Chains A and B, each alone.
Chain A
Amino acid sequence: MTSPHTTPAGAGSVAVDHPLLEVEDLFVEFHTRDGVASAINGVSFTLEERETLAILGESGSGKSVTAQAIMGILDMPPAKIPRGQIRYRGNDLLTMADKSRRAIRGPEISMIFQDALSSLNPVFPVGWQIAEMFRKHRGMNRRDSLDEAVRLMERVQIPAAKERVRSYPHQFSGGMRQRIMIAMAIALNPRVLIADEPTTALDVTVQAQIMALLQEIQDEEGMGLILITHDLGVVADVADRIAVMYAGRIVESSDVLPLYAKPAHPYTKGLIESIPQLEDKGKELFAIKGLPPSLLRMPPACKFHPRCTRAVEVCRTDDPELREVEPGRFSRCHFAEEVLGE
């Protein structure tokens, strides 16, 4: 792969007209025995270099499916992408030939998964798994690629990297394993890094270390970062912008700080209010009532209305559009302004 974008110096100098990554009107459905489940229903967003976009949502909201669609690692079938485009520097990944797509997956766009233990192959040494990126994409020989692996392991602050390069995944702690995942993902200097719940499986103290490491790497390499999480706390410190997903759609997107200060969608508001606060000690914890809808049986119109405290007739009949309620703030609610004004 001899793309001009493989070095940080080359990045940004080419294709200035195109954003780094654009997702436009993306639909993903799963064909199951019980029917067609629409996991993603028209998601659009863009990501620029050096930017961190957080995609927030609960399980089943479609945030991980979005990431896998971008990576091109959805199992098709049962998954199907009936509509939409995913453009990397202006080129649509979905219509691309298999081979060119593979050359982007890894070297240009790469991904970190939630559970590092199950995401690393248990029967190969970690160094081998990192080195494989260099051998397969860069044509390096065994020894040079292993040297690179050691360098990367040092880079993600794994102690005694030289000795541990031959160890197997199960011989590392959870935090160290996630560092190895990161090393593997950044091996070829990708321009887009997708982190799917990178800290969910880790202890609190280790979570902070991993997030700090990710930020440090992003600062140095200048890649665009998509951070997928259900954890509002993680997002606040790291992200530039947030897209909140519900039932396969973005219900609110905004810069981080305004969203925290004043959410523009009842769902986001509910999420923020359900964070326990010290000053609320003794009060009952707030929780959003009800369950997220089944992907097989979506409610009509606004997908959130069955759980929404302010739902009225129009919410059951008219599907709200994602509209700009303030400059840079988008909400998919008929009453966005009122929510915002509270």
Chain B
Amino acid sequence: MTDTADAALVPHASDEVNDARPVSAEAWRSLRANPLFWISATLILVFVLMAAWPSLFTTLDPRTSVLAEARRGPSSEHWFGQDRQGYDLYTRCIYGARASILVGLTATIGTSVVGVTLGLIAGYMGGWVDAVISRFAEIFFGIPLLLGAIIILQSVSFGNSYFAIVGQVAAVLIVLGWPSIFRLMRSAVIQVKPQEYVQAARALGCSPLRIARSHILPNALGPVIVVSTINLGVFISAEAALSFLGIGLRPPTVSWGVMISDGAGAMQSAPHGLLFPSLFLSLAVLAFIMLGDAIRDAFDPKSK
């Protein structure tokens, strides 16, 4: 006697779902309508251009110092003023983008690759494989980022070239940062795995690898993309913190962290030396966090 009227009603579902467009198209539509997305995307584009072709933005050399003009405030010639070595701050802010973006991008790609791969294996295989990988992740998760980074950076050195120093900082962030992506991926896989379409693929005899690649991965990847985007900003910030402590990037490498560290020492006599690199750094961090937020909102039906 139940569900009698349902025979007529249910197959047609409710009138709330009029648009049968796929989720990604719907998300893209909502993303495009979000001004925060455009602001953050534009900012990121500008910073990436800055990192790749700094000469597009300035004609000066970041390593030309005019000691006689040290600590001068902003002028028409030196938009952001000069620091205590007489370097042009604007030029150095532009050139500093490369180190930050490189560290952020490398660390993000690294943590994502390691975290997603291990998360997929642990979540899909379960059992002792899961237990071993999970404990392994917890070992790294248990070491506070800053402390771990300090110890590693003090004991390991890749060399003194630009890319070696940048790579070293990125490597440290990868080593200490992958467990958060791993946890996310693992729990997403565990959630997706028992769902019917995955079970159906299994019943149809698909190989585990194929199931993981074509069914589980695409469905579990959403939260990872969001967190990775936000993490990119966090990594840029972490690089600056390490440089501030004198163990991340160091002169002559030009980076925002190095500049901030330098500017903080002369904050009272030349506040612009702290202001402008902080501004660039914060804008970059902000851009990635806002982009992550915007993507999350677009994929999260609750926020509509």
User: CB within 8 Å of B: which residues of A?
Assistant: 33, 56, 58-60, 199, 204, 207, 230-234, 270-271, 274-276, 285-288, 290-295
Contacts and interface: CB of A to CB of B under 8 A. Distances in A.
Contacts of B5: 56, 58, 230-233, 271, 274-275
A274 B8 contact: yes
B1 A233 contact: yes
A270 B5 CA distance: 9
B156 interface: no
Contacts of A207: 2
Contact of B9 (A58, A233, A234, A293): A58
Contact of B3 (A231, A285, A290, A295): A231
Interface string B274-298: 0000000000000000000000000
Contacts of A270: 8
Contacts of A287: 7-8, 11
Interface string B1-27: 111111111011111101000000000
Given A274-B7, A275-B7, A276-B7, A291 B2 contact: no
A107 B197 CA distance: 48
Contacts of A294: 15, 18
14 contacts: A33-B304, A58-B14, A199-B2, A204-B2, A207-B2, A231-B3, A233-B1, A233-B2, A234-B2, A276-B7, A287-B8, A291-B12, A293-B15, A294-B15
B15 A291 contact: yes
B4 A233 contact: yes
Contacts of A232: 4-5
A199 B3 CA distance: 11
A171 B7 CA distance: 33
Interface residues of B, number: 17
Contacts of A56: 5
Contacts of B8: 270-271, 274, 286-288
A231 B6 contact: yes
A230 B7 CA distance: 11
A31 to B, nearest CB: 14
Contacts of B16: 60
A60 B15 contact: yes
B6 to A, nearest CB: 7
Given A204-B1, A276-B7, 19 more contacts: A58-B14, A60-B15, A199-B2, A207-B2, A230-B6, A231-B3, A231-B6, A233-B4, A234-B1, A270-B8, A271-B8, A274-B4, A274-B8, A288-B9, A291-B15, A292-B12, A292-B14, A292-B15, A293-B15
A299 to B, nearest CB: 12
A60 B14 contact: yes
A131 to B, nearest CB: 32
A33 B304 CA distance: 9
B191 to A, nearest CB: 19
Contacts of A288: 8-9
Most buried by A among B1, B5, B11, B13: B5
A104 to B, nearest CB: 31
Q: What are the nearest 3 A-B pairs in CB distance?
A: A274-B8, A233-B1, A275-B4
A232 B18 CA distance: 26
Nearest to A286: B8
Contacts of B304: 33
A292 to B, nearest CB: 5
A82 to B, nearest CB: 21
A222 B1 CA distance: 27
Nearest to A289: B12
A60 B13 CA distance: 10
Contacts of A233: 1-2, 4-5
A18 B12 CA distance: 41
B244 to A, nearest CB: 43
A274 B10 CA distance: 12
Nearest to B30: A33
A59 B18 CA distance: 14
Most buried by A among B2, B8, B16: B8
A230 B9 contact: yes
A230 B9 CA distance: 9
A75 to B, nearest CB: 14
A275 to B, nearest CB: 4
Contacts of B7: 274-276, 285, 287
Contact of A59 (B1, B4, B14): B14
A230 B12 CA distance: 14
B12 A231 contact: no
A287 B10 CA distance: 10
Contacts of B2: 199, 204, 207, 231, 233-234
